[in-house]
Amino acid sequence: MVQMAITPFYEQLGLPLVKQKVQVLQVNLGKRCNLACSHCHVEASPKRTEEISPDVCQDLIKLMYQFPQIKIVDLTGGAPEMNYGFKSLVEAATATHKQVIVRSNLTIFFAEGFTDIPDFLAEHHVHIVASLPCYLADNVDKMRGHGVFDQSIRALQWLNSLGYGKDENLILDLVYNPQLPKDDNFSLTPNQKNLQLAYKNFLAANFNIVFNHLLTITNLPVGRTKLYLERHHLYDQYLQFLASHFNPDTVDNLMCRQEISVDYLGNVYDCDFNQMMNLPAKTHNGETLTIRKLLEFDSLDLIQEVQTADYCYGCTAGCGSSCGGALV
């Protein structure tokens, strides 16, 4: 099949993607994870060893104290709970009155050395965003590994027993990711509201589980998803599919406009996808940033324009996609 070239994302936008005042600090603590999911854009696994250092951890804590404008600290990985500095960062974010989000794979709660994590999260009122790419066991186990669905269900029941999903201070959100495509019959993520209702009904009826919101997240062609698509000769078609569903209404709400994303070395990006694709955030004169520089310049707002690439079409297709789910 002859491929049509897609319009570069920046051309589609027409105008630069202007950065707004930074209010979200997302930290990718490292690539260590107890799972190795097929769609993982971080390419995390139990074999990876890269993680945050004590120096970077200290700088992040200083950043939280120095900048009250940071309202949300969003911890991700890998399994953030497994990487150095996790508890110190949660404690610092709580002490500085930020909302703390942890992106958890749930199964980590059963790994040796981490069984205290659910109590720790509840004690600090951490908002949990947990992956559950489907409410059917087969689909989850195919993407994430044998037995992951059962462990996820037990973890959700455990969180419910601590008040998660019930107490207004203990928010439990779930994340839906589509299955990776087997052929070029692609589809957009389903309507978030309708799918949330289906998840709620199924999990309540079958497992007595409650949760707050379902977030639908598109698979961006980055990391393991990109490798998968390339292996199946679907990469170009998938990009074209996303580009053909460009929705300009999503642009105002793109998560990269109000956040910085920091890697385990302390480098600054506009989002986690750019981080994985090694596309650093830049100042107006092209300088890259680290958290050490942000501390020295005493400003979080040194980025005028978000760096974009063609995979950004994943965030603007249909209802849009972000770490907080659909955008419109």
Judged by the rule CB under 6 A, the positions of this chain that interact with ligand SF4 are: 33, 35-37, 40, 42, 44, 77-79, 105, 131, 254-256, 270-271, 273-274, 306, 308, 311-312, 315
| Angle, in degrees to the nearest 10, between helices 54-66 and 86-95 | 10
What residues are paired with 100 via a beta bridge?
A: 73
Q: In the bound complex, what is the minimum distance in angstroms from residue 37's beta carbon to ligand SF4? A: 3
Question: Is residue 19 within 8 Å of 306, Cβ to Cβ?
Answer: yes
Choose between 9 and 61: whose C-beta lies nearer to ligand SF4: 9
Q: In the bound complex, what is the minimum distance in angstroms from residue 132's beta carbon to ligand SF4? A: 11
Q: In the bound complex, what is the minimum distance in angstroms from residue 151's beta carbon to ligand SF4? A: 12
Separation in Å, CA 98 to CA 28, 76, 212, 298: 17, 16, 20, 19
Choose between 35 and 61: whose C-beta lies nearer to ligand SF4: 35
Choose between 253 and 299: whose C-beta lies nearer to ligand SF4: 253
Q: Spell out the residues 6+ positions from residue 317 whose beta carbon is closer than 8 angstroms to its own.
A: 188, 218, 241, 242, 243, 245, 246, 247
CA-wise closest residue to 50 among 311, 307, 276 = 276
Q: In the bound complex, what is the minimum distance in angstroms from residue 298's beta carbon to ligand SF4? A: 25
Q: In the bound complex, what is the minimum distance in angstroms from residue 311's beta carbon to ligand SF4? A: 6
Choose between 145 and 190: whose C-beta lies nearer to ligand SF4: 145
Question: Is residue 78 within 8 Å of 87, Cβ to Cβ?
Answer: no
Question: Is residue 250 within 8 Å of 319, Cβ to Cβ?
Answer: yes
Choose between 61 and 274: whose C-beta lies nearer to ligand SF4: 274
